[in-house]
Structure 1
Amino acid sequence: MTTSPLEPADLRTRVDKALAAFLAGQQDRLLAIDPALAEVAATVTEFVLGGGKRLRPAFAYWGFRGAGGADSDGVVAAVAALELVQASALIHDDLMDRSDTRRGVPSVHRRFEKLHAGAGWRGSAGGFGDCAAVLLGDLALVWSDELLHGCGLPLTDLARARPVFDTMRTEVTVGQYLDVLTQATGDTSLERAGKVARFKSAKYTVERPLLLGAALAGAGPEVSAAYSAFGLPLGEAFQLRDDVLGVFGDPAQTGKPAGDDLREGKRTYLVASAFGALDEAGRSELETALGDPRLDDAGVERLRAAIRDSGALAATEARIEELMAGSLDALAAAPIDGEAREVLHRLAEAATRRSV
């Protein structure tokens, strides 16, 4: 039996193919400028094609199909541009968090730090790696724009989608700033944690991709409103699952060291819930250890136990279920194509039941 070109597994293959073709062209452009850019081209290509769930293109594609859009290679290329936005965000995020790995391999700033050190170049190897990560993240963001607008769809369709794409990129950037600000100020309120989750991740993971697909298809306000009602709570549930995995996830599956979010001092919904539930001594212990890059495995386990025993883990899991229920109710009532509704339901389950 052949696989339908509309099935999610095949969509991922098509997205990867569109990305690979685009990045091959970009590599040729960079090498024509200077052979020294080979490492830049290879790093971005490997980062983009080396993993990822492709959830954002999937939500955008099925948002498009649900709104009556017809399948084409052009729309697949358009939604693939979201993976370059994601690459930019992750490269910069790893740099800001001083993360050593991503998906089980060295993060971009560490890769270029090693390149500098291995070549015996002048100056700081760490500083060189940091600069490279900033520039490669910026390059991925620039290329996201280029891929979207070179996808081959009619200019009228792209003009409708442009405001959504621009709003999404602004939201994820300022959401990241709010995350950094929250760590610096030590704000432990659930309100702040919720806002960071919405703008850093929730909106650009689900809601904005859905709205991008709707705009490309020329959907009316009823469909867009339904997508927001479905997508925003689902995106928040996705981020809360990410928060849980950042503390309790298995490094063999997540590709990052155990407890990295604790060492980075992330003030997530999970952590904010713990601060609200712990007694004064427990809050003091959590406050002291949170954000300590020297926190060893035993220290991580003590904080895990404190968070679990406070009821914060159970509260976060309950919040995920609550958000999921509201999201799926909105999806059931959405005025969209039945096949798209079924696939979006499966995507919602995959986004929140995951272990990576």
Structure 2
Amino acid sequence: MTAWSGSMEGERAAERADRADPPDLPGEVEVIGAPVRERLAAVVDQAIAEWVPIDPELERPLASIRRLVLSGGKRLRPAFCYWAFVGAGGRPDDPVVVDAGAALELLHAFALIHDDVMDESVRRRGAPTVHVEYAAIHRAEGWVGDPGRFGEGVAILVGDLAHVLANELVVGLGERAARMWNQLAIEVNIGQYLDVVGTARGSVDLPTARRISRYKSGKYTIERPLHLGAALAGLLDELAGPLSAYGEPLGEAFQLRDDLLGVFGDPARMGKPVGEDLLEGKPTPLLAVARQRCTGDEAALLERVGDPMLDENGIAALQALLESCGARREIERSITALTDQAIDAARRAPLRDEARAALVALAGYVATRDR
């Protein structure tokens, strides 16, 4: 069996495992998660049908996208978009919000694939990352050149392709929605650039770490999908402020929880190794707080963050330090305060009652999730 045929078997297994979203996701997500998943499959299958007759080799990159978008994910971005749309008076069964949700998932796939290349990550959603998958294909087929370089190059192209498929879904959604989509996409790239620079510098202060978190993840996970939903319903001008009052603090809480899970989470739940942020030296608020608090031997131990030679014992020592110095506890307090702020804003927002209740429930999920 070739590496490619094996990867196709993996794709089919992942799809079978994802017939429904994971059971721990709230109903406020599943209401849009299932239609979005079906739309994603249809979009990629249509692209496969269009391009494979030109060259069978073209099935590979599209199948990689299909596997990633159908093999899990929380579907939070489509959910926030959906509830802003419904809260602003949009029809719950309007296919336009399904297309927007599918576009958000494809843009997220683009960001994940590129992020994995930059971070040299080897696992994503319980499977090899795209660049690792294609490096393995290169080795198995005995092709010329460097397998790692080949894998990274193909992954960049696969990510770009996911972005183009996302953009195709946004065409025709209206001028305001298109402008919001472009703003969201720009912020994703800006946030990632700030993250890469912060990692290269080795450490950043707390305000800078919070700014990176806000633009790298918070805005494009919660605030901008909310704005996109309001734009689709034609009420962005009226609702941008109230939705930001909810989305900004909750977006920060989302990324802070991500930071904690990246250091202390369960690898089986996360679908990737835990401790990668410590290996890579990610400029997180968690580490910024620890650096404020630690001196002497503790500060010296923190200098090991970002050391590529960091082993399991070193990661365990850093985890213990982040506990003992109170950094983890402080981040947990911040998550609680930011979530409470978001819930208060949701309850005051001029939205339909069912949407306000859904946003309150989603805030609770974001604050307490374990993956």
> Which residue identity is paired with 1:76?
V
The equivalent of 1:300 in structure 2 is 315
1:343 Cα deviation after fit: 1.0
The equivalent of 1:152 in structure 2 is none
> Which residue identity is paired with 2:150?
F
What pairs up with 1:78-117 in 2 under 5 angstroms? Answer: 78-117=100-139
CA–CA distance in structure 2, aligned partners of residues 228 and 130 of structure 1: 36
The equivalent of 1:122 in structure 2 is 144
The equivalent of 2:190 in structure 1 is 174
What pairs up with 1:152-191 in 2 under 5 angstroms? Answer: 155=172, 157-191=173-207
1:33 maps onto 2:54 in alignment: yes
1:212 Cα deviation after fit: 0.2
The equivalent of 1:144 in structure 2 is 166
> Which residue identity is paired with 2:282?
K
Q: Aligned to 1:318, what secondary structure does the other structure show? A: helix
> Which residue identity is paired with 1:39?
R
> Which residue identity is paired with 2:194?
L
Select 1:313's aligned residue among 319, 328, 348. Answer: 328
The equivalent of 2:91 in structure 1 is 70
The equivalent of 2:39 in structure 1 is 18
How many residues were matched structurally?
344
The equivalent of 1:214 in structure 2 is 230
> Which residue identity is paired with 2:63?
A
1:119 Cα deviation after fit: 0.4
Q: Aligned to 1:32, what secondary structure does the other structure show? A: coil
Q: RMSD of aligned C-alpha atoms?
A: 1.2
1:7 Cα deviation after fit: 5.6
The equivalent of 2:265 in structure 1 is 249
> Which residue identity is paired with 1:138?
D
The equivalent of 2:24 in structure 1 is none
The equivalent of 1:48 in structure 2 is 69
User: What per-residue deviation string (whole Å, max 9, x for no partner) do you get for residues 261-280 of structure 1?
Assistant: 11111110111110111113
Q: TM-score, normalised by structure 1?
A: 0.94
> Which residue identity is paired with 1:202?
G
Select 1:258's aligned residue among 274, 278, 287. Answer: 274
1:296 Cα deviation after fit: 1.4
Q: Is the 8 A contact 1:230 1:326 kept in 2?
A: yes
CA–CA distance in structure 1, aligned partners of residues 68 and 101 of structure 2: 18
CA–CA distance in structure 2, aligned partners of residues 257 and 8 of structure 1: 26
1:234 Cα deviation after fit: 0.3
1:220 Cα deviation after fit: 4.9
The equivalent of 1:351 in structure 2 is 366
Gap runs ≥5 in structure 1 = 1-5, 150-154
1:327 maps onto 2:348 in alignment: no
CA–CA distance in structure 1, aligned partners of residues 53 and 206 of structure 2: 50
> Which residue identity is paired with 2:302?
L
1:11 Cα deviation after fit: 1.8
The equivalent of 2:299 in structure 1 is 283
The equivalent of 2:255 in structure 1 is 239
Stretch deviating more after TM superposition (300-309 or 7-16): 7-16
Gap runs ≥5 in structure 2 = 1-26
Q: Aligned to 1:33, what secondary structure does the other structure show? A: coil
CA–CA distance in structure 1, aligned partners of residues 134 and 359 of structure 2: 39
CA–CA distance in structure 2, aligned partners of residues 138 and 220 of structure 1: 29
Q: Is the 8 A contact 1:188 1:275 kept in 2?
A: no
1:146 Cα deviation after fit: 0.4
Q: Is the 8 A contact 1:30 1:41 kept in 2?
A: no
Q: Is the 8 A contact 2:261 2:274 kept in 1?
A: no
> Which residue identity is paired with 1:98?
E
> Structure 2 vs 1, CA of residues 180 and 8 (structure 1 numbering), >3 Å: closer, same or farther?
closer
> Structure 2 vs 1, CA of residues 280 and 316 (structure 1 numbering), >3 Å: closer, same or farther?
same
CA–CA distance in structure 2, aligned partners of residues 82 and 27 of structure 1: 20
Q: Aligned to 2:144, what secondary structure does the other structure show? A: coil
1:221 Cα deviation after fit: 2.8
> Which residue identity is paired with 1:40?
P
The equivalent of 2:81 in structure 1 is 60
Q: Aligned to 1:177, what secondary structure does the other structure show? A: helix
CA–CA distance in structure 1, aligned partners of residues 349 and 203 of structure 2: 37
> Which residue identity is paired with 2:249?
P
Stretch deviating more after TM superposition (126-135 or 187-196): 187-196
> Structure 2 vs 1, CA of residues 258 and 187 (structure 1 numbering), >3 Å: closer, same or farther?
closer
Q: Aligned to 2:199, what secondary structure does the other structure show? A: helix
Q: Is the 8 A contact 1:202 1:234 kept in 2?
A: yes
Q: Is the 8 A contact 2:48 2:59 kept in 1?
A: yes
The equivalent of 1:3 in structure 2 is none
CA–CA distance in structure 2, aligned partners of residues 104 and 293 of structure 1: 22
